[in-house]
Chains A and B, each alone.
Chain A
Amino acid sequence: MLRLLARRLLISVPILVIVTFVVFLLLQLAPGDPARRAAGGESASLQDVAAARHRLGLDEHWWVQYWHFFSGLFSGNLGRSFFSDQPVVSAISDRIPVSLSLMAGALVVALLIAVPAGIVAALRPGSVADRVVMLISAAGVAMPSFFIGLLLVLLFALKLEIFPATGYVPIEQSATQWFESLVLPWLTLGFAAAAEIARFLRASLLDVLDRDYIRTAKAKGIGMFSVVGKHAMKNAFSPVLTVIGLQVRFLLGGTVVVEQIFDLPGLGSLTVKAVFDRDYPIIQGVAITTALIVIVVNLMVDVAYGYLDPKLRAA
């Protein structure tokens, strides 16, 4: 297992390098000029734009610019924002607690909905419960998160006035308010993920419940709770783990929209602004951070595979 993890960790290094390189190249190819914005916008003279370009190092060859960025990685220096002059590391560390809170909570919401729903549907295939679960999960997959988010705001914030419509309260300021500020974003983001996970869990569990060892367990008189919880779920959950790993990527992308709807100061809103402004250092920093998050999640999925499947532990 340790060897597997070490191998995965080693592979993640070139992945990170490739991510930084591809993002850098895409930025070079994208139209738009951050130097003009840095020089003061529309009314800046050509001389001022040229001076800003020199100051930001944008007049150097692209490979020199890339090398500056890449070499900075080793000292933890991701540069500074072109426009706010804020260190990229500081900009990201200010925002990442919001995005991680959002993603982690959404994943919990997704699992809280998906696991019972998937089990109920799998235990009674074709029943009313199964059809309801499948119908709701189809809706969850089909409905865009902004639509779900706006409906939740309309209902829980504007009509019932239970949760705030917008804003984020840091957990260190107030745990209760932090929770309240994130409930609707969690539900928004978690609903679609839940739908996907529930569908996969249902299919996987249906397959496992049909196997001989389950039939044997039932024949031995083991209760349904133990059959599913102890015997079936361990095997059925392996493919679901893959889906959960994929959902993390989906959740990462979904934060961009959800942060806009709920005015959350996370990585998503930072990225959108940086992309529109062509704030290259921030975009690069966010790309590295999100790549790292995905790599870490994949490693966690691998560890979970090992827990569920002893054969993998020996690999």
Chain B
Amino acid sequence: MSFRQSVTAMVAAVVTALSLVACGGGSSGNAGKTGAPTSSGDLDPNATFTFADPFQNDTIDPAKNDSGFPTRQLDLVYDRLIGIAPTGALEPQLATKWEFTSPTSLKLTLRPGVKFQDGAALDADAVVKNLNRSLTLPEAGAAVKTPASFISGVQASGTDAVVITLKQAHYSIVYDLAQNLGMMISPNALSGSLDRTAVGAGMYKLVDFKPGVSATYERWSGYWDPSAVKLARVVVKSVLDGQTRLNALQSGQVTMSIIDENQIEDAKSAHLNVKDKATVSAWTMFLNLTRGGLDNEKVRQAISTAIDRDALVKTLAYGHGEPVVQFFPPSYEAYSGDWPASKYAFNIDKAKQLLADAGHPNGISLSVLILNRPLDKQLGQALQTMVKPAGITLKLQVVEPARYSLFTDGDVDLFLGRWGGRADPADTLKSNAAKGGFINPGGGTTAEFQALMDKIDATPAGADRTKLVQQASAVFAEQQLDIPIFARQAIFADNGCVVGFEPYVFGADEYRGVGIKKGCGS
């Protein structure tokens, strides 16, 4: 639209503004663009996919990213040694095979013929250099530093295999290699700064990176799996505000966006395509078992019983959530079917009785840390009112996100927040409720749970380990080592042109195989 047309239209629009605003109702949006799934032959090979992301990347260096940060941008440019499916299952990527030759030795067989985007070969030597960087980089963040601390050495075994030696049995390392630790950087780029440049072996090349603003990627024609690359260009824009993201999507500035629960109806009425999936991201009361009488199982069960989870899902999640008493949603493999949310059905009398049995007939008072964000505060206030009749007094302490450490430093009884999810379900349980878990101040746990976690630590990924994780999740749920409230859904809206996108159960969504329909969105 020309300047003149714009101004003319604007003036005309001012005249009719009030009447149109009064009309309200649904926007015309992108009506008609949504349609039935399209086969890959109908995709536009020259399409640009623009995604509005609520997260802001400060750096594109995989070693420096925050541990709780979604890796969807990094995955575009950096392939990992081990891949991961939307269900959370591990799958081959740069390594075609991996096996523990002993509890402390992992052998990875590399995919032959893979090149980095600068032409360097992805061989055993390159992998050794990459892992050594993760071991020694002083600025490395916890996403890399923590798993790297389990590694005692990395050796090449010929040109196509690598042996990782661990300090102790740590079978979870395969999940770490499917995340930041396993992202392979060209050996030629390892010596320079990787904050704003990236040379990986991934599907797309980074062409522009503006910290906190946007990143632009273009198709890399040398990718080892051309069937996964269906876009000419990917642009990721950091847009913090939810309403702004939805506006951008409705007016065509972006192709897809993460939206909030309360925006689902607006998005649907604007003829946008909405996809949601339950995730390993539950609103949870994280407990400090060394404070406030929370070492008593009955107290924890009393609190859990005093929560009306269905009402919270209905009101705060607009019906788009799943009541849970364990960290995992029912659709996830680690979920224990023995412990549905109904086991802690809302019952004030029972909660009172449990408290009395625990030696608190007159009730208890607990200090609660809450981050100064709208939904966190709403949930805190709702819970405060909800559990009060059972004799549980929650003293809310609202702080800025940067002061979250008040909980891990042991200054409050519990923290009300949202768990971000982990690729390894055992990691979720361990981080939150086992000895040494980073979100388990004081290391409070129970012998039964810890014994199961120790067993999991000594069991390689597979059916046996999954079974043990389910058992641990059941013990966690029974003992309410933390108090999960409801599992959030990952909610994405697109303009109806996007094909092949599936949200991940643990939040690390990827654009592998994502395409745009021909003649759509233009």
A interface list, Cβ under 8 A from B: 31-34, 36-45, 48, 51-52, 55, 81, 83-86, 91, 94, 150-151, 153-167, 176, 179-180, 183, 260-263, 265, 269-270, 272-273, 276-278
Contact = CB atoms under 8 A, between A and B. Distances in A.
> Most chain-B Cβ atoms within 10 A of its Cβ — which of A36, A52, A159, A273?
A159
A153 B402 contact: no
Contacts of A176: 2-3
6 contacts: A32-B400, A34-B402, A40-B67, A40-B140, A84-B59, A153-B251
B399 A31 contact: yes
Contact residues of B: prevailing secondary structure: loop
Given A40-B141, A43-B142, A55-B139, A165 B251 contact: yes
B244 A263 contact: yes
B10 A183 contact: yes
Given A156-B13, A158-B29, 16 more contacts: A38-B139, A40-B67, A40-B146, A42-B67, A42-B142, A48-B145, A85-B195, A153-B247, A155-B20, A155-B21, A163-B6, A164-B253, A261-B243, A262-B244, A276-B400, A277-B402
B212 A273 contact: yes
B375 interface: no
B401 interface: yes
A159 B270 CA distance: 11
Interface stretch (B376-384, B403-411, B486-494): B403-411
Contact of B400 (A31, A94, A154): A31
A142 to B, nearest CB: 17
Interface in B218-268: 237, 239-241, 243-244, 247-248, 250-253
B145 A40 contact: yes
Contacts of B405: 33, 36
Contact of B243 (A55, A150, A162, A163): A150
Interface in B173-189: none
A154 B266 CA distance: 13
Contacts of B270: 158
**5 tightest A-B contacts by CB?**
A40-B142, A32-B402, A40-B141, A165-B251, A84-B211
B408 A86 contact: no
B248 A162 contact: no
A115 B152 CA distance: 73
A157 B212 contact: no
Interface in B382-405: 399-405
Contacts of A48: 142, 145
> Most chain-A Cβ atoms within 10 A of its Cβ — which of B2, B146, B247, B401?
B247
B406 to A, nearest CB: 9
Nearest to B141: A40
A39 B244 contact: no
Contacts of A36: 402, 405
Interface size class of B (residues with CB under 8 A): 35 or more
Contacts of B252: 164
Contact of A40 (B6, B66, B211, B408): B66
B431 interface: yes
Contacts of A162: 1, 6, 9-10, 13
Interface string B182-206: 0000000000010110000000000
Contacts of B29: 158
B307 interface: no
Interface in B45-103: 56, 58-59, 66-69
A166 B253 CA distance: 7
A81 B193 CA distance: 14
B58 A81 contact: yes
> Most chain-B Cβ atoms within 10 A of its Cβ — which of A44, A81, A273?
A44
Contacts of A34: 402
Contact of A158 (B3, B58, B250, B401): B250
A28 to B, nearest CB: 14
Given A153-B247, A166-B248, A39 B6 contact: no
> Most chain-A Cβ atoms within 10 A of its Cβ — which of B17, B239, B244, B270?
B244
A155 B9 CA distance: 12
Interface in B7-36: 9-10, 13, 17, 20-21, 27-29
Contacts of B13: 155-156, 160, 162
Contacts of B145: 40, 44, 48
B138 interface: yes
B1 A159 contact: no
Given A31-B400, A37-B402, A41-B68, A180 B247 contact: no
A157 B17 contact: no
Interface string B118-148: 0000000000000000000011111101100
A151 B21 contact: yes
Contacts of B512: none
B207 interface: no
Given A165-B248, A262-B244, A41 B142 contact: yes
B439 interface: yes
A272 B56 CA distance: 12
B1 A180 contact: yes
A40 B62 CA distance: 11
Given A159-B27, A183-B6, A276-B400, A263 B239 contact: yes
A276 B401 contact: yes
B195 A42 contact: no
Contacts of B3: 176, 179-180
A97 to B, nearest CB: 13
A44 B211 contact: no
B59 A37 contact: no
A71 B253 CA distance: 43
A136 B195 CA distance: 49
Contacts of B403: 31-32
Given A36-B405, A166-B251, A262-B244, A160 B142 contact: no
